[in-house]
C-alpha cells in the first residue's frame, strides 16, 4: 500500500532503519496493535537507509496484509546517516505530527493517541517525548542508570514539563514526536551532525533539529504517559561499546552549543566548554583514580568528559577549515 496524497493524515509514524529487518517485524506488529484511533488518521513510513539485508522484502510482505485504512510506505534514502533518514521522513510525511520510532523501540498500545492528544493540548509544542524504558537481553552493570541516557533510555518522572534546550537537556530522537510545521520552518536541509557512521560514534544528531526549533520559539515537552521500550542486546552492554558511545556523545557537546550561538559568543562557548570539561575530567580522575579498569560506569563518564573536552578542539579545527 502506498500513500494516498489526497487523504488527510493526522499522524505519521516514521521508522528510520538500517539492516534491522528482524527488529522491524516486532515494531510493525506493535504498531498494528495501536488502540483508540477511531478519530485519528495515520500512516507509517519506513525509511530504509541503505540496508543490505531483506528490509525491503519485509515491508513488502507486511504491505500485502496490512491495515486497510493505514498507508504503509517503503522509501529508500541513499544518503547515509540517521539525520538524512529523518529529513527524508519529514519530506515524505503527510501527518501534522510525525512520530519517530527507531527500529528497536516498541511503543505502548496507546503511544499514538497519547502523543496526538498531548500535542493537541499544547499547540506551541514543536516536539515532545516521553519515557523510554530499557528492555535488556542481559543484566546491565551496577549503577547503569548513571549512563543509561547514552543508550536513549529516558525516565524523567511522572510530571509533564518542558525540556531545557539552552542547557542541552533534550530528548533523544528515538520515540520523538515532532510537529511537521515546526520542523519544516526551523530545521535546515543539511545538518552538521549526520549520525553515527562507519568508523565514527560521533553523536548529537538527535539534538540538532530540536535546537533549531527552540531558536524559532517552539517548546520541547516531556509527556510522562508516552511509553516506549528500547531493546538492548547484550553487545550494547559490553565495555568497548559503552566506552565508545559515551565518548561519541561527548564529542558533539561543543558543536551543539554552537548551533544557536551568535558569532561573538562562539569563542566564549569554546573556552567555557574547554574549561568546564577539563574541570570534570580532573574531578573524575581524583574521585575514581585507580578504578577505571574495574568501574565501568566511572570509565564511561570519564570517556564522556574527555569527549566533551575534545569537542572544543574539533570545533576550532572545523572553523579553520571553513
Residue 19: left if φ>0, alpha if ψ -120 to 50, beta else—which one? left
User: How many folded domains does the chain comprise?
Assistant: 2
Averaged pLDDT for residues 35-45: 97
Q: Which of 20, 11, 7 is nearest to 47 (CA)?
A: 20
User: Does the residue 124 lie in any domain?
Assistant: yes
**Residue at a domain's end among 180, 212, 236:** 236
Beta-carbon contacts of residue 248 (< 8 Å; ≥ 6 apart)? 196, 200, 201, 202, 203, 307
In tens, the pLDDT along 212-228 reads: 999 999 999 999 999 99
CA pair distance 119, 187, nearest whole angstrom: 19
Position 198 scores a pLDDT of 54
Q: In terms of domains, do 23 and 91 share one? A: yes
The neighbouring-strand residues paired with 178 are 98, 127
**Residue at a domain's end among 236, 251, 267:** 236
Helix (H, G, I), strand (E, B) or coil at 259: coil
Q: In terms of domains, do 216 and 75 share one? A: yes
Q: In terms of domains, do 212 and 292 share one? A: no
CA 71, chain centre distance (Å): 24
Position 6 scores a pLDDT of 55
In tens, the pLDDT along 78-93 reads: 998 888 999 999 999 9
- pLDDT higher at 135 or 194: 135
User: Does the residue 2 lie in any domain?
Assistant: no
CA pair distance 284, 302, nearest whole angstrom: 6
Q: In terms of domains, do 89 and 150 share one? A: yes
Count how many residues are written for the chain: 322
Q: 101, 176 in Cβ contact below 8 A?
A: no
User: Does the residue 37 lie in any domain?
Assistant: yes
User: Does the residue 102 lie in any domain?
Assistant: yes
Q: In terms of domains, do 119 and 219 share one? A: yes
User: Does the residue 27 lie in any domain?
Assistant: yes
Q: 116, 136 in Cβ contact below 8 A?
A: no
- pLDDT higher at 86 or 7: 86
The cell numbers describing 87, all together, are 529529513
The pTM assigned to this predicted structure is 0.93
The cell numbers describing 93, all together, are 510525511
Q: 195 pLDDT band (50/70/90 cuts)?
A: low
Q: In terms of domains, do 107 and 256 share one? A: no
User: Does the residue 4 lie in any domain?
Assistant: no
Cα end-to-end span (Å), the chain: 45
Q: In terms of domains, do 310 and 190 share one? A: no
The cell numbers describing 304, all together, are 564522556
CATH code of the domain in which 169 resides: 3.90.550.10
* Structural domain boundaries enclosing 44: 11-236
Amino acid at each position: 500500500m502506498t500513500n494516498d496524497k489526497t487523504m488527510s493524515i493526522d499522524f505519521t509514524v516514521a521508522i528510520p532503519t538500517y539492516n534491522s529487518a528482524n527488529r522491524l517485524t516486532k515494531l510493525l506488529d506493535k504498531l498494528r496493535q495501536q488502540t483508540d484511533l477511531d478519530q485519528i488518521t495515520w500512516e507509517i513510513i519506513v525509511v530504509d537507509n541503505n540496508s543490505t539485508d531483506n528490509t525491503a522484502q519485509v515491508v513488502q510482505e507486511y504491505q500485502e496484509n496490512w491495515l486497510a485504512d493505514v498507508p504503509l510506505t517503503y522509501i529508500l534514502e541513499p544518503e547515509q546517516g540517521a539525520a538524512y533518514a529523518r529529513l527524508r521522513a519529514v519530506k515524505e510525511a503527510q501527518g501534522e505530527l510525525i512520530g519517530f520510532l527507531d527500529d528497536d523501540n516498541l511503543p505502548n498500545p496507546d503511544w499514538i493517541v497519547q502523543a496526538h492528544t498531548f500535542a493537541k493540548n499544547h499547540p506551541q509544542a514543536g516536539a515532545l517525548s516521553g519515557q523510554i524504558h530499557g528492555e535488556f537481553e542481559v543484566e546491565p552493570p551496577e549503577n547503569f542508570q548513571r549512563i543509561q541516557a547514552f543508550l536513549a533510555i529516558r525516565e524523567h518522572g511522572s510530571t509533564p514539563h518542558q525540556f531545557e534546550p539552552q542547557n542541552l537537556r533534550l530528548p533523544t530522537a528515538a520515540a520523538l514526536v515532532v510537529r511537521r510545521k515546526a520542523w519544516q520552518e526551523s530545521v535546515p536541509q543539511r545538518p552538521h551532525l549526520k549520525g553515527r557512521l562507519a568508523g565514527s560514534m560521533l553523536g548529537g544528531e538527535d539534538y540538532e533539529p530540536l535546537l533549531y526549533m527552540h531558536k524559532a520559539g517552539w517548546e520541547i515537552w516531556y509527556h510522562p504517559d508516552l511509553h516506549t521500550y528500547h531493546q538492548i542486546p547484550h553487545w550494547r552492554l559490553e565495555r568497548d561499546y559503552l566506552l565508545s558511545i559515551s565518548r561519541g556523545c561527548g564529542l558533539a557537546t561543543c558543536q551543539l552549543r554552537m548551533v544557536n550561538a551568535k558569532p561573538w559568543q562562539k569563542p566564549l562557548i569554546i573556552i567555557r566548554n574547554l574549561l568546564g570539561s577539563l574541570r570534570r575530567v580532573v574531578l573524575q580522575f581524583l574521585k575514581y583514580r585507580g578504578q577505571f579498569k574495574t568501574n565501568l560506569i566511572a570509565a564511561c563518564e570519564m570517556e564522556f568528559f574527555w569527549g566533551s573536552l575534545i569537542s572544543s578542539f574539533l570545533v576550532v579545527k572545523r572553523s579553520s577549515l571553513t
